[in-house]
Amino acid sequence: MGDQIKIRAQIQGDITEVRILMQHPMETGQRKDDKGQTLPAQFIQSFTVSLNGKPIIDGQLNTSISRNPLFSFKVRGVKGGDKLAVTWADNTGDKRQDEITVA
């Protein structure tokens, strides 16, 4: 399981700006280590953002995304006390899920 997903939500009237930092190495499988050995591919393949248990974003990624991907988006109708959860799964079977309560 990877490091904690950092989730921030800032309510601005009816619109909430959400920022998500998924800490993950995102290796392409094309780089080599200092001994010349190819580093195995390891990248997030899919992620879901849910609000109060209902998906609001389903995304797919690939090797062209940088290490520790950061996503930012705006959503309507989020209220204080709502639960915002992010889940990802990578190509090696590793998974992570984290959740915040919107303030």
Residue 64: what pLDDT? Answer: 85
Structure tokens at 78: 């989020």
Residue 68: what pLDDT? Answer: 96
* Cα separation, 2 vs 4, whole angstroms: 7
- CA dist list (Å): 72 to 6, 14, 40: 12, 17, 28
Structure tokens at 3: 């490091």
Give, as one character, the DSSP assignment of residue 36: S
Q: What is the pTM of this model?
A: 0.91
Domains of the chain are 6-30+39-101 (2.60.40.10)
Residue 2: what pLDDT? Answer: 73
| Mean pLDDT for back-to-back runs of 10 residues, the chain (103 residues) | 92 97 95 96 97 97 92 97 98 97 97
Residue 20: what pLDDT? Answer: 98
